[in-house]
Amino acid sequence: MTQTIAKKNESVKHLPRLTTVSNDRLSKQKVVYQVEGFNLWYDETHALKDIELSVYDREITAIIGPSGCGKSTFLKSLNRMVELIPSVKTSGDISYQGNRILDKHFKVEQLRTKVGMVFQKPNPFPKSIYENIAYGPKIHGIKNKKILNQIVERSLRDAYLWDEVKDRLNENAYGLSGGQQQRLCIARALAIEPEVILMDEPTSALDPVSTSKIEELIQELKSKYSIVIVTHNMQQAARISDRTAFFLNGEIIEFDLTESLFSNPSDQRTEDYITGRFG
């Protein structure tokens, strides 16, 4: 990591604290994702440069940075959705639970069954609320109506949507409000009980009330899932995440415990960004 001279005193000051916290938490945490020397190009555009990052079990990892710095690209690399764009080329390594997911022979469907995703704009299927949730389990072979009913109810309860929709499960999901649609999409991801949930600015299209509902929900989910969330809202990252990675121009400038990164950034650029001097 780059160390700025101007910040030297503060970095020294915060170092001991970082280590104590780390001893508390780092040692216990299991690594879910290990990203090493990862690069990504769209044709000639070098969108991600030598990314090093670990995602820990049952933590919320926030990714912040200005628009166009590669946050979404990175997130979509974690479930290989980025490959839907034909011009993409990668190098380096991403392992998920010890498996190198960039290997040619690695089955992406298997990965995506374990790693759910919630998108920036709610994208429910043009089907009923029930069918939206049941879709994932169904394609993975669960046909039993009784089991499906249970899955639907449980997923909707976990996404705090059940009470709002229990009487209209057969209505089209497009009749829900934006915030409800996004919680439906979270419930849809939960229905196949993944281990990790990737979220790309899940609240950027929502009003403040829906946003705080979803923030609460995300913190609730932490007890069962590892979560990686992209946000360009720094307050959100500070409020809900355990660790934060600051991206700038396709590079990770700083990756640290959220508390440390926001109270004692070790890089001048991080400080400039979180104090709102750019971005």
Partner 1 sequence: MDHNVNQESINVQELIQQKSMSQKVSHKIGKMIPSILFLFAAVSILTTVGIIYTLLSEAIEFFKIVPIWEFFSSTTLKPLSQNPEFGILPLINGTIISSIIAILVAGPVGLMAAVYLSEYASDRVRRLLKPTLEVLAGIPTVVYGFFAFTFVTPIIRSVWPDVEATNILSPGIVMGIMIIPMIASLSEDALTSVPNTIREGALSLGATKLETTFKVVIPAALSGVIASFVLAISRAIGETMIVTIASGSSKNFTFDITESMQTMTAYIVEVSSGDAAAGTPIYYSIYAVAIALFVMTFVMNLLARAISRRFREEY
- Which residues lie near ligand ADP (CB under 6 A)? 42, 45, 47, 65, 67-73, 85
Cα dihedral 113, 114, 115, 118, rounded to 10, equals 60
239: contact with partner 1 by CB under 8 A:
no
Cα-only R_g, the chain = 19
In the bound state with Mg ion, the residue whose beta carbon lies nearer, of 72 and 244, is 72
Compute the distance between CA of residue 124 and CA of residue 270 in angstroms, rounded to an integer. Answer: 36
45 vs 263 by CB, closer to ligand ADP: 45
Name every residue whose Cβ is closer than 8 Å to that of residue 57 and which is 6 or more positions away in sequence. Answer: 29, 30, 31, 32, 226
Question: Which is nearer to partner 1, 169 or 191 (by Cβ)?
Answer: 191
Window of 67-75, 104-112, 134-142, 184-192 that interacts with Mg ion by CB under 5 A: 67-75
- C-alpha torsion sign, points 125, 128, 131, 132: positive
Distance, in Å, from the CA atom of 151 to the CA atom of 197, rounded to the nearest integer, reads 18
Handedness of CA 73, 118, 81, 103 (dihedral sign): positive
Which one of Mg ion, partner 1, ligand ADP, none interacts with residue 98, CB within 5 to 8 A by kind?
none
| Closest CB to partner 1 among residues 24, 109 | 109
Answer for the pair 26, 59: CB distance below 8 angstroms, yes or no: no
Smallest distance from the beta carbon of 232 to partner 1, in angstroms? 19
Using the minimum distance from each CB to partner 1, give the nearer residue, 137 or 179: 137
List strand residue ranges (DSSP E) for the chain, in order: 31-42, 45-56, 60-64, 88-96, 99-100, 115-118, 196-200, 226-230, 243-248, 251-257
Contact 210, 46 (CB under 8 A): no
**Residue 9 touches which of ligand ADP, partner 1, Mg ion, none (CB < 5 to 8 A by kind)?**
none
Could you say which of ligand ADP, partner 1, Mg ion, none residue 168 binds, taking C-beta under 5 to 8 angstroms by partner kind?
Answer: none
What is the smallest separation between the CB atom of 194 and partner 1, expressed in angstroms? Answer: 9
156 to 185, contacts with partner 1 by CB under 8 A? Answer: 174, 185
Q: To the nearest whole angstrom, how small is the minimum distance from the Cβ of residue 103 to partner 1? A: 18
73's contact among ligand ADP, partner 1, Mg ion, none, with CB below 5 to 8 A by partner kind, is: ligand ADP
Using the minimum distance from each CB to ligand ADP, give the nearer residue, 43 or 220: 43
Cβ at position 157, least distance to partner 1 in Å = 19
What lies within 8 Å, CB to CB, of 5 at 6+ separation is none
Q: Are 252 and 92 in contact (CB under 8 A)?
A: no
Distance CA(9)–CA(121), nearest Å, equals 43
Q: Contacts with Mg ion: how many residues (CB under 5 A)?
A: 1
- Within 8 A by CB and 6+ apart from 239, the residues are 215
- Check residue 72 for interaction with Mg ion (CB under 5 A): yes
Report the partner that residue 209 touches, choosing among partner 1, ligand ADP, Mg ion, none (CB closer than 5 to 8 A by kind): none
> Residue 165: which of partner 1, Mg ion, ligand ADP, none does it interact with, CB under 5 to 8 A by kind?
none
| Minimum gap (Å) between residue 148 Cβ and ligand ADP | 35
Binding site for Mg ion (CB under 5 A): 72
